[in-house]
């Protein structure tokens, strides 16, 4: 049986278990859409998706009716429409606009499953949930589920360029563009929208935050008809389209000589621009902006600040309900490595915190989870929650730029959960990032979570089959951050690789351990950045050490780490609220895994684990490789239980991961042995 992985987790394989098949078929023979509900838009999508899934899993599509004719059926309904479904649903008031219920109802004459919500989108989500249950072999005869998403914005950012390349893309080329054109085939885009809607994504920015020449024209008449086509496909699945814009649009395409945000001509140009965009795309989401960051233009050129810049765009989008997602990844990327007083980790907070309260209501500051840049391990950005009067949202990276580039397995849900569960204490205990991003610590008007996509036009979307788990898991997690990593991994595995217990066991446990394995053979104790410059895959310990990027480890013959303390370092630790500020600042209290992020210590420093820093480096690097070998062995046991194509493909990638892990182990261990002169206590081979 061959398999290219294209269906990802929406495989809908024929149900083999006889009992289940009979149960599902009993309920799914008739699909009722109450009379009076127009069969168009997202509701139509929901009905089509349900029929498609049922046909594929049960062998026969349901008959679609307006009035039930069978004793058992499934009914889809938008609540509040005055149909009988309203009563049957039992007045669920707790539902948000995107929330839904799945309920098995038994009356004297009939029995049915209701999949309903207050909006069409909610019904679509209910349908995908029901299909997920059936795909996982769950019982559906006693349903009583009420689901509402934790976050109102659940987004994906693409770093796709119009030439077809994807910045930090590890899965082929763009599905949206090629050769400086928008691709005309909508099928792949529709399949992508299905995958995203099935896990609740409701907003997608379709071009790179680094907006080059060609992409600058996406907001012009030349390309808006093409963009509108994509928006329409997204719209069928309840997804709003966003565009990254070039801050200097007035100069690059507007024929003006300035992009000064306080200049009336500049403001007027953006207002007209917004009007034009909304003429083509009535439900356009808004603009995503990387300004004054990594050589991108921005308001600084005109002596203005980020609030001036963001508000200018916000004012233009406001009449249409559009949003400005303004990135906080702002730092000096031309740093002199000799300068020990500048600390890149401080930059976002230093730039944005003083501007609290100055941003318009439809601006959201988009903040990367860590203060540096999507490293394997970083503390949570101290900017989270530090601005009481400014909307904020989280930015994660599903693309594995620094975490194995979809050659190595690194399941990121555990990392994101740690970030979300981090207590900032900004309003006392319980001020977790999870709650801040939901707008429930400070009363934000807009908030949520976004992440950089890991897909491309590879047949299986994500390069590595197992990297699909990050995409799936991201959607599930930001719908409900209380789900455990294990639940998410297990749900993904059963849908994607079937219900075999051995397959499940290996996949779930390998995924759950993979982040720590990757951390072990790459970056010890929060140090980061020992990667090949520019590519960011594979080791180059000093690759960034004398560079302009502000990313140093300061290893010498005595010790390693970045002193970010108040007394002797950059003072970064003080950007946190107590007790975090004190914990990170203190050599004794700082957690081991972040030690080298906050402190410069001798190799002989003893960790809480009881080991010295140097022995920890050796041990983790040996262990990392051993665990990759272990999981290769476990995966091999699955031969014959997983289809041949995917089995071979994953085997190939795992062998590559092993090579990478060995390279990291040997280079890191050798480097630090040569620097420190301290031998491995266990006398293993170090070169």
Residues that bind ligand GCW (CB under 6 A): 159, 167-168, 209-210, 290, 294, 329, 373-374, 401
Torsion of CA 78, 81, 87, 93, to 10 degrees: 70
DSSP readout, 45-73? HHHHHHHHHHHHHHSSPPEEESS--SSEE
Known active-site residue 49 = no
User: Bridge partners of 601?
Assistant: 560
Query: Cβ 266 to ligand GCW, closest distance in Å?
Result: 24
Chain position carrying tokens 């849908």:
495
Query: Cβ 534 to ligand GCW, closest distance in Å?
Result: 8
CB-nearer residue toward ligand GCW: 154 or 158: 158
CB-nearer residue toward ligand GCW: 498 or 533: 533
Beta strands in 398-447 (DSSP E): none
Query: Cβ 379 to ligand GCW, closest distance in Å?
Result: 17
Q: Check 120, 305, 343, 373 and give the catalytic one.
A: 373
CB-nearer residue toward ligand GCW: 209 or 503: 209
Longest Cα separation, the chain: 82
CB-nearer residue toward ligand GCW: 329 or 618: 329
Given a contact cutoff of 8 angstroms between Cβ atoms, the answer to whether 109 and 71 are in contact is yes
Given a contact cutoff of 8 angstroms between Cβ atoms, the answer to whether 292 and 254 are in contact is no
CB-nearer residue toward ligand GCW: 93 or 295: 295
Q: Which residue number places its CB atom closest to ligand GCW?
A: 373
Chain position carrying tokens 């950005």:
381
CB-nearer residue toward ligand GCW: 181 or 210: 210
CB-nearer residue toward ligand GCW: 31 or 211: 211
Prior bond of 579 cis (ω within 30°): yes
Long-range contacts of 568-574 (CB under 8 A, 24+ apart): 569/598, 569/599, 569/600, 570/340, 570/341, 570/342, 570/343, 570/345, 570/346, 571/343, 571/346, 572/343, 572/345, 572/346, 572/371, 572/382, 572/598, 573/598
- Which residues have C-beta within 8 Å of that of residue 133, sequence separation ≥ 6? 140, 143
Query: Cβ 290 to ligand GCW, closest distance in Å?
Result: 5
Known active-site residue 373 = yes
CB-nearer residue toward ligand GCW: 359 or 374: 374
Given a contact cutoff of 8 angstroms between Cβ atoms, the answer to whether 266 and 260 are in contact is yes
Query: Cβ 299 to ligand GCW, closest distance in Å?
Result: 17
CA separation for the pair 569, 573 (Å, rounded): 9
What six digits make up the tokens of 663?
A: 């390279």
Q: Is the dihedral of CA 341, 345, 350, 351 positive or negative?
A: positive
Q: Check 17, 294, 336, 502 and give the catalytic one.
A: 294
CA separation for the pair 343, 330 (Å, rounded): 12
Query: Cβ 473 to ligand GCW, closest distance in Å?
Result: 21
Query: Cβ 335 to ligand GCW, closest distance in Å?
Result: 15
Known active-site residue 401 = yes
Query: Cβ 244 to ligand GCW, closest distance in Å?
Result: 9
CA separation for the pair 28, 62 (Å, rounded): 6
Q: Check 160, 292, 401, 619 and give the catalytic one.
A: 401
Question: Hey, which residues are catalytic here?
Answer: 294, 373, 401
């Amino acid at each position: 049986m061959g398999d290219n992985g294209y269906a990802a987790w929406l495989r809908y394989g024929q149900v083999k278990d006889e009992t289940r098949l009979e149960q599902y078929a009993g309920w799914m023979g008739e699909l009722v859409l109450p009379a009076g509900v127009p069969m168009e838009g997202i509701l139509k999508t929901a009905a089509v998706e349900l029929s498609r899934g049922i046909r594929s899993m049960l062998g026969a599509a349901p008959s679609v009716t307006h009035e039930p004719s069978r004793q058992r059926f499934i009914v889809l309904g938008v609540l509040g429409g005055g149909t009988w479904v309203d009563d049957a649903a039992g007045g669920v008031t707790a539902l948000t606009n995107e929330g839904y219920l799945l309920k098995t109802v038994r009356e004297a004459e009939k029995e049915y499953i209701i999949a309903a919500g207050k909006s069409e989108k909610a019904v679509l989500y209910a349908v995908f949930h029901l299909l997920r249950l059936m795909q996982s072999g769950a019982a559906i005869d006693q349903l009583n589920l009420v689901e509402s998403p934790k976050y109102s914005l659940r987004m994906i950012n693409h770093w796709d360029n119009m030439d077809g390349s994807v910045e930090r893309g590890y899965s082929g080329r763009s599905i949206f563009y090629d050769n400086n054109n928008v691709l005309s085939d909508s099928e792949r885009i529709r399949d992508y929208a299905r995958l995203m809607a099935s896990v609740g994504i409701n907003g997608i920015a379709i071009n790179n935050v680094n907006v080059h020449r060609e992409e600058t024209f996406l907001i012009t008449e030349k390309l808006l008809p093409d963009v509108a086509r994509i928006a329409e496909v997204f719209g069928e699945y309840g997804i709003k389209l966003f565009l990254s814009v070039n801050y200097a649009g007035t100069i690059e395409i507007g024929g003006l000589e300035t992009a000064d945000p306080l200049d009336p001509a500049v403001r007027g140009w953006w207002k007209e621009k917004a009007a034009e965009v909304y003429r083509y795309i009535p439900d356009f989401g808004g603009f995503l902006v990387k300004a004054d960051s990594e050589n991108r233009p921005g308001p600084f050129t005109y002596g203005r600040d980020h609030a001036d810049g963001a508000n200018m765009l916000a004012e233009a989008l406001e009449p249409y309900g559009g949003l400005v997602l303004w990135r906080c990844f702002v730092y000096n990327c031309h740093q002199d490595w000799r300068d020990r007083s500048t600390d890149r980790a401080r930059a976002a907070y230093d730039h944005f915190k003083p501007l609290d309260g100055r941003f318009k209501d439809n601006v959201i500051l988009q903040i990367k989870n860590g203060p540096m840049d999507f490293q394997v391990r970083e503390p949570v950005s101290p900017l989270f929650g530090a601005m009481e009067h400014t909307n904020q949202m989280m930015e994660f990276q599903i693309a594995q730029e620094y975490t194995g580039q979809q050659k190595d397995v690194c399941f990121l849900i555990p990392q994101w959960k740690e970030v979300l569960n981090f207590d900032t204490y900004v309003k006392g205990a319980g001020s977790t990032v999870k709650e801040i991003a939901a707008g429930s610590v400070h009363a934000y008007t807009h908030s949520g979570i976004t992440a950089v996509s890991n897909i491309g036009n590879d047949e299986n979307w994500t390069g590595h089959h197992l990297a699909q788990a990050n995409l799936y898991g991201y959607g599930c997690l930001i719908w409900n951050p209380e789900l455990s990593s294990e639940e998410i991994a297990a749900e993904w595995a059963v849908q994607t690789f079937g219900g075999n217990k051995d397959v499940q066991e290996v996949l779930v446990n390998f995924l759950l351990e993979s982040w720590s394995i990757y951390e072990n053979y790459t970056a010890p104790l929060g140090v980061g950045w020992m990667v090949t410059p520019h590519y960011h895959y594979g080791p180059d310990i000093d690759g960034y050490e004398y560079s302009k990027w502000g990313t140093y480890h300061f290893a010498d013959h005595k010790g390693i780490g970045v002193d970010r303390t108040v007394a002797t370092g950059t003072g970064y630790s003080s950007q946190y609220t107590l007790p975090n500020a004190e914990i990170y600042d203190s050599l004794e209290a700082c957690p081991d895994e972040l030690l080298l992020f906050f402190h410069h210590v001798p190799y002989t420093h003893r960790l809480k684990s009881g080991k010295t820093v140097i022995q920890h480096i050796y041990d983790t690097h040996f262990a990392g490789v051993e665990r990759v070998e272990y999981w290769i062995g476990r995966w091999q046991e699955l031969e014959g239980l997983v289809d041949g194509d995917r089995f071979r493909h994953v085997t190939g990638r795992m062998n590559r991961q092993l090579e990478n892990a060995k390279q990291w182990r040997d280079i890191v261990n050798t480097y630090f042995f040569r620097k420190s002169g301290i031998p491995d206590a266990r006398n293993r081979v170090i070169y």
